[in-house]
Amino acid sequence: MPRVSSGTDVNGTVAALLRDLAAVQKSQQSMWGYKRAAAAILALEEPLESLLQPDGTLRKIPNVGPSSLRVVMEVLQTGASPTVERAIAESGKRSDIDRRRDLREHFLSRSQVLAALKNRKLRGPTLADYHGDLQMHSVWSDGSQTLNDIVDAGIERGYQFCAVTDHSYGLAIAGGMSMSELAEQHREIDALNQRYEGRFRLIKGIEANIRADGSVDMERDELRELELVVAAPHSALRTEADQTARMVSAVRSPGVHILGHPRGRKYGSRPGVAADWDEVFAAARKANVAIEIDGDPSRQDVDYELAKRAVDAGCLFALDSDAHSTAELAYSETAIAHARLAGVPADRVVNCWPTDKLLTWLARSG
């Protein structure tokens, strides 16, 4: 009989154990096998316990082989996996594994995201409240979607607007855009907005980079060319040193609307910025800057726990996909799930505002 209590995220638990197992493999092939299985389980729409059949076996899951399945069954039956613990003990990598485990807190599996979206007891924005996505990347930087793809996919998802926020020139590694490329992109956006007037609005945005000193890597007059500025950290994400001053300075920078993936954490890999977040949120509230919940499954940043503190600070929120392809626009659902778990009031989510109200907020002098 399954011994897992309801409310536990079995999918998340199993996926984390499979990542642990991947990390102690000697062969690349088996490492990738366990990573693939972990990804498949994180992406499952149903909790693993619901895949149990009356004869006690599990329904087949694509990309999950027999040795991964053994871990699934152990967790369903006992809540833990002796197989994984044995492999870790034999590998001599216990401390590395413990460090990785600490870096998987407050991540939601896809099945938990769907459960949070459905759970009527939760306050917070629903899918129907959500009118558009304010962070995404296109072929103009490191994305694979064209601007036209974004309009088509946005309309299909029932959105009224999307902001295109390709990387700024400061982030050359992500194909950051020069100012002349930006001007060219804006001409394409203007043409699309003319064609879709009254139906859909593309917003001219940028994802600017927060430098080590907290300044934004674009000049003030360059920022004025944009309707929406997401400022986000992409460096110093593995240090424990306090970076409160950096983040406070970023939210106070003129022209910034959204603090994007505020910590810059990555699932099982890096902790991101360490800061006194209550102080950062208070500064953001004062500067009228929205705190982003980035819905990329490997980011989930800020998560529902940290988001609760931003709710208490009175902050506005932006719930974004950070999509690099149209399929990834669904990542906004992960952000909405975190907002619901944190009890973010829908009227404090800028994505839930009517287009006119959003544009007025964006046009504020800063």
Quick check: bond before 71 cis, omega within 30?
Answer: no
* 192 binds Zn ion, rule: CB under 5 A: no
Distance in Å, CB of 34 to Zn ion, minimum: 28
Distance in Å, CB of 189 to Zn ion, minimum: 20
DSSP string, 13-37: HHHHHHHHHHHT-SSHHHHHHHHHH
The total number of residues shown for the chain amounts to 366
Number of residue whose CB is nearest Zn ion: 232
Of 282, 260, 274, give the one whose Cα is nearest residue 335.
260
Q: How far apart are CA 256 and CA 207, in angstroms?
A: 10
Distance in Å, CB of 292 to Zn ion, minimum: 10
Name the residue nearer to Zn ion (CB basis): 9 or 296.
Answer: 296
* Beta bridge partner(s), residue 231: 208, 259
Q: How far apart are CA 30 and CA 264, in angstroms?
A: 29
Taking each helix axis as running N to C, give the angle between helix 10-23 and helix 110-118, from 0 to 180 degrees, rounded to the nearest 10: 160
Name the residue nearer to Zn ion (CB basis): 84 or 208.
Answer: 208
Of the candidate spans 186-194, 230-238, 249-257, 350-358, the one that interacts with Zn ion by CB under 5 A turns out to be 230-238
Query: How buried is residue 141: exposed, middle or buried, by Cβ count under 10 Å (0-12/13-18/19+)?
Result: buried
* 208 binds Zn ion, rule: CB under 5 A: no
Q: How far apart are CA 151 and CA 193, in angstroms?
A: 9
Of the candidate spans 84-92, 228-236, 250-258, 304-312, the one that interacts with Zn ion by CB under 5 A turns out to be 228-236
- Please identify which residue in 10, 208, 232, 290 interacts with Zn ion, judged by CB under 5 A: 232
* 352 binds Zn ion, rule: CB under 5 A: no
Half-sphere exposure of residue 41, counting CA atoms within 13 Å on the CB side? 30
Of the candidate spans 21-29, 52-60, 229-237, 273-281, the one that interacts with Zn ion by CB under 5 A turns out to be 229-237
Applying CB under 5 A, the site for Zn ion has a residue count of: 1
Name the residue nearer to Zn ion (CB basis): 87 or 232.
Answer: 232
Of 268, 306, 294, 334, give the one whose Cα is nearest residue 104.
268
Name the residue nearer to Zn ion (CB basis): 234 or 340.
Answer: 234
Name the residue nearer to Zn ion (CB basis): 153 or 232.
Answer: 232
Distance in Å, CB of 294 to Zn ion, minimum: 8
Q: Identify the sign of the CA torsion 261, 263, 264, 270.
A: negative
Name the residue nearer to Zn ion (CB basis): 232 or 313.
Answer: 232
* 210 binds Zn ion, rule: CB under 5 A: no
Binding mask 156-175 for Zn ion (x = CB under 5 A): --------------------
Name the residue nearer to Zn ion (CB basis): 232 or 284.
Answer: 232
Which residues contact Zn ion (rule: CB under 5 A)?
232
